Amino acid sequence: QQQVKQSPQSLIVQKGGISIINCAYENTAFDYFPWYQQFPGKGPALLIAIRPDVSEKKEGRFTISFNKSAKQFSLHIMDSQPGDSATYFCAATTISGTYKYIFGTGTRLKVLA
Amino acid sequence: DVKVTQSSRYLVKRTGEKVFLECVQDMDHENMFWYRQDPGLGLRLIYFSYDVKMKEKGDIPEGYSVSREKKERFSLILESASTNQTSMYLCASSSPGQGDSPLHFGNGTRLTVT
């Protein structure tokens, strides 16, 4: 019930391509879904987040698509760049809860120049 | 910008040693967290604190304890280090309020227990 399943574990994309990372959750009480980006040697940092009252949120080249009925959400990186090479974590939590985020297992993205 | 500083980037300790991992944040955040990051397992919450001297167990608290004597400082303690505690440890902080306050992470401490 508390898991967030993330796939794929690793992803290689050509420069200019679209990177897609998927996450699925079980707990319908979750109502906030952030994505964190982690570069080597650094801690994760918030990239983009969505609440379930919208089906899509876009910030620059990064888009979250959210499917409430399927309990799935995904991160799309358009025009992927070598500088996007990082590990990406999806997460889920309840806004009115106890600040506990449930993180996915991470996706290591490599964008080839 | 929020700065979360972890005192050590790398630590090597022996089995049975008592280990202290220190974390300091400079943004007056009420909430502080300790996560453990392992390949294929993502980030798992060990302990968190939403106020000075307050602490709550996360998902994997066994073998760990924490201390928060001052608002800006949150320490993770391994009472008797074991090899299965070899991992990357990440400290984070967030401002109070609702659960959508972003987590601000430090750069991590890679602990090796031999």
The answer to whether residues B54 and B42 touch, using CB atoms and an 8 Å cutoff, is no
- List chain B pLDDT tens, one digit each, 114 residues: 669 999 899 999 999 999 999 999 998 899 999 999 999 899 999 999 988 988 999 999 999 999 999 999 999 999 999 999 999 999 999 887 666 788 999 999 999 999
Per mean pLDDT, which range of A62-66, A96-100, B27-31 is the poorest?
A: A96-100
> Which residues of chain A have a CB within 8 Å of the CB of B56?
98
The partner residue sitting opposite B94, judged by closest CB among A94, A99, A106, is: A99
CB contact under 8 A, B99 and A32: yes
The amino acid at B95: S
What's the CA angle centered on A91, arms A93 and B57, to 5 degrees? Answer: 60
Q: How far is CA B78 from the centre of its chain?
A: 11
CB contact under 8 A, B99 and A99: yes
Residues of B whose CB is below 8 A from A34: 100, 102
Q: Considering chain A, what percentage of its residues have pLDDT values greater than 70?
A: 96
Q: Do A99 and B48 touch (CB under 8 A)?
A: yes
Interchain pair A105, B40: CB under 8 A: yes
- CB-based contact A7:A106 (threshold 8 Å): no
What is the CB-side half-sphere exposure of residue B81 using CA atoms within 13 A? 20
Confidence at residue B98, expressed as pLDDT on a 0 to 100 scale: 63
A11 pLDDT above the threshold of 80: yes
- Is A80 exposed, middle or buried, given 0-12, 13-18 or 19+ CB atoms closer than 10 A? buried
How many whole angstroms separate alpha carbon A39 and alpha carbon A66? 25
Q: Identify the pLDDT of residue B97.
A: 67
Q: Is residue B31 a contact partner of residue B100, using CB atoms and an 8 Å limit?
A: no
Give the minimum alpha-carbon distance from B100 to chain A in angstroms, rounded to a whole number.
6
- Residue B2, pLDDT score: 66
Closest chain A C-alpha to B105 CA, distance in angstroms: 5
Contact A99 B102 (CB under 8 A): no
A57/B32 Cα distance (integer angstroms):
28
pLDDT for res B99: 63
Which tens digits make up the pLDDT trace of A71-90? Answer: 999 999 999 999 999 999 99
A46 contacts B107? CB cut-off 8 A: no
Q: Quick one: which of B24, B33, B40, B26 has its CA closest to B90?
A: B33
